[in-house]
């Protein structure tokens, strides 16, 4: 089996992003963005997904954090899509329900080769740490578009703490993707679709 890894670089007038991912890693992380809360959430994602993940991101945060965070979503999605190759032998679907104290977060993903995105996460504070709350939607939407996946994110129990909400979502995101990219021992290396392609 080929190693399921990739490296993607994106440079624009607003951001410079480099992402390297190894799907069959052990959760090694090297994460450098100018947004501390975002680093924390990416760290949770990689640890709970058991992905080896390196991200170096620079961007126009003197304006705000939107371009940097959204562009990381774009590049991370592309890196996952490239690392998966033709998706032979994968589980394809992954769902995780994660309790984070009083919050219960659900993330479900289908590596279908088609984009769909649903996000039902009530966030009331404008910022969490040094990160704008509204950009969390855009990060996941950018990932789903560029990974070409169906991604559903929902808080089953919203709780009361904004930090717990986003932390639960990112942990569940890692666990759901970990399940979806896992190799199915019964698949005999076949594409998990009656179409024969994903």
- Please report, for the chain, the start and end positions of each structural domain, with discontinuous segments joined by +: 5-181
pLDDT digits (tens, 9 = 90+) for 127-160: 999 999 999 999 999 999 999 999 999 999 999 9
CB-CB contact of 192 with 92 (8 Å):
yes
Residue-level pLDDT at 108: 98
User: What is the arithmetic mean of pLDDT over 71-81?
Assistant: 98
| Dihedral angle, C-alpha 179, 181, 186, 191, nearest 10 ° | 140
Q: Which CATH number fits domain 5-181: 3.40.50.300, 1.10.3130.10, 3.90.1150.10, 3.30.230.40?
A: 3.30.230.40
| Cα atoms in the Cβ-side hemisphere of radius 13 Å centred on 43 | 10
Residue-level pLDDT at 90: 97
pLDDT digits (tens, 9 = 90+) for 89-108: 999 999 999 999 999 999 99
- Indicate the helix (H) or strand (E) that contains 175: helix 162-181
| 50: confidence class by pLDDT, cuts 50, 70, 90 | very high
pLDDT digits (tens, 9 = 90+) for 173-189: 999 999 999 999 998 88
CB-CB contact of 46 with 29 (8 Å):
yes
CA distance 175 to 157: 18
| 116: confidence class by pLDDT, cuts 50, 70, 90 | very high
CB-CB contact of 75 with 12 (8 Å):
no
Residue-level pLDDT at 196: 86
Over 70: is that where the pLDDT of 1 sits?
no
Residue-level pLDDT at 11: 98
Question: Token match 């009656």: residue?
Answer: 194
Residue-level pLDDT at 187: 87
pLDDT mean across residues, the chain: 96
User: What is the arithmetic mean of pLDDT over 102-120?
Assistant: 98
Residue-level pLDDT at 106: 98
Pick the more confident residue, 20 or 2: 20
């Amino acid at each position: 089996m080929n190693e399921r890894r990739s490296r993607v670089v994106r440079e624009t007038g607003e951001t410079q992003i480099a992402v390297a991912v190894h799907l069959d890693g052990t959760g090694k992380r090297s994460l450098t963005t100018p947004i501390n809360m975002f680093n924390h959430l990416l760290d949770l994602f990689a640890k709970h997904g058991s992905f080896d993940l390196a991200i170096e991101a620079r961007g126009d945060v003197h304006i705000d954090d939107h371009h940097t965070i959204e562009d990381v979503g774009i590049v991370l999605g592309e890196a996952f899509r490239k690392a998966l190759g033709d998706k032979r032998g994968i589980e394809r679907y992954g769902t995780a329900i994660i309790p984070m104290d009083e919050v219960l977060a659900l993330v479900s993903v289908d590596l279908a080769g088609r984009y769909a995105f649903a996000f039902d996460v009530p966030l009331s504070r404008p910022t969490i740490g040094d990160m704008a709350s509204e950009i969390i939607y855009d990060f996941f939407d950018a990932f789903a578009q560029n990974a070409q996946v169906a991604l559903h994110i929902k808080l089953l129990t919203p709780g009361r703490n904004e930090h717990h909400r986003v932390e639960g979502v990112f942990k569940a995101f890692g666990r759901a993707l970990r399940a979806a990219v896992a190799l199915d021992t019964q698949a005999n290396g076949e594409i998990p679709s009656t179409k024969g392609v994903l």
